[in-house]
Amino acid sequence: MDHDSDTRAQILAALAEPVRLALVDRLVPGDASPSELAAHVGLGSNLLAHHLRVLEEAGIVRRVRSEGDRRRSYVQLRTDHPLVRAATLTSPNAGPVPRVVFVCTANTARSQLAAATWNQISAIPATSAGTHPGPRIHPRTIGTARRHGLHLAADRPVTVDDALRDGDLVIAVCDNAHEELSPALSRLHWAIPDPVRLDTDAAFENAYDDIARRVDHLSALYRDTERAS
């Protein structure tokens, strides 16, 4: 058996268990904390830890530490792995939405790139906002957008309160914003590292690559939903 076949067998074996499949379905649209996953499948922490360990060893999920509250961690799908992406291309969680709003803290980098990337490939419109908007869009955001042929949806950062409308699909693309937003606001969460902290072209390219994979994955689910409706 070659390496790819062995890896595929391990992934499929891990997904063959109903609880682990339910955990993966929960993670398809966005990241989640272990406590959120435990509540979703109704498991205690020890049993959840076992199932997450199996998924980690199979290369299906990984855990990341929050950039905001360092005591928190999040579990995310390894959509950078083509076999994981292929095995998780459908989810019962997707439904029709009128618009997508990407939120980060300053609305100067990640949320701007996410909205522009979404608008490039999806018929569902997207915009972005910040919990504490900065004075201007970061110059490296503008440069990254140009390199990838993206058109930024706005020419300046805006506040969440000014951007949100009823029915929006809200996606927090940074840990600080996700942890600050009200629990009453329904949303997805993508734990994407802040490229402004390093302030290099490489950091912005890494953030773009992460965003582009996630946008491509999630927008495909909503396209499938539209075709089925």
Give the CATH number, domain containing residue 59. 1.10.10.10
Q: Are residues 82 and 110 in the same domain?
A: no
Q: Are residues 24 and 104 in the same domain?
A: no
Answer yes or no: is 40 within a domain: yes
**92: number of Cβ within 10 Å:** 10
Q: Are residues 28 and 121 in the same domain?
A: no
Q: Which domain holds residue 153?
A: 100-228
Answer yes or no: is 154 within a domain: yes
* Residue 43 amino acid letter: L
pTM as predicted: 0.91
> Which pLDDT score, from 0 to 100, does residue 227 have?
42
Answer yes or no: is 36 within a domain: yes
- Kindly tell me if the per-residue pLDDT of 1 is higher than 50: no
Q: Are residues 66 and 133 in the same domain?
A: no
Q: Once rounded to an integer, what is the mean pLDDT over residues 14-19?
A: 94
- Kindly tell me if the per-residue pLDDT of 181 is higher than 50: yes
> Which pLDDT score, from 0 to 100, does residue 91 have?
55
Identify the three-state secondary structure at position 1.
coil
Model confidence pLDDT, tens digit, residues 76-122: 999 888 888 887 776 555 567 899 999 999 999 999 999 999 999 99
Q: Are residues 120 and 176 in the same domain?
A: yes
> Which pLDDT score, from 0 to 100, does residue 162 have?
95
Q: Dump the DSSP string for 107-160.
A: SSSHHHHHHHHHHHH-SS-EEEEESS--SS--HHHHHHHHHTT---S-SS--BH
Give the count of domains, the chain. 2
> Which pLDDT score, from 0 to 100, does residue 5 have?
78
171 vs 93, residue with greater confidence: 171
Q: Are residues 19 and 112 in the same domain?
A: no
Tell me the pLDDT band of 143, cut-offs 50, 70 and 90.
very high
Q: Are residues 106 and 210 in the same domain?
A: yes
Tell me the pLDDT band of 72, cut-offs 50, 70 and 90.
very high
> Which pLDDT score, from 0 to 100, does residue 88 have?
78
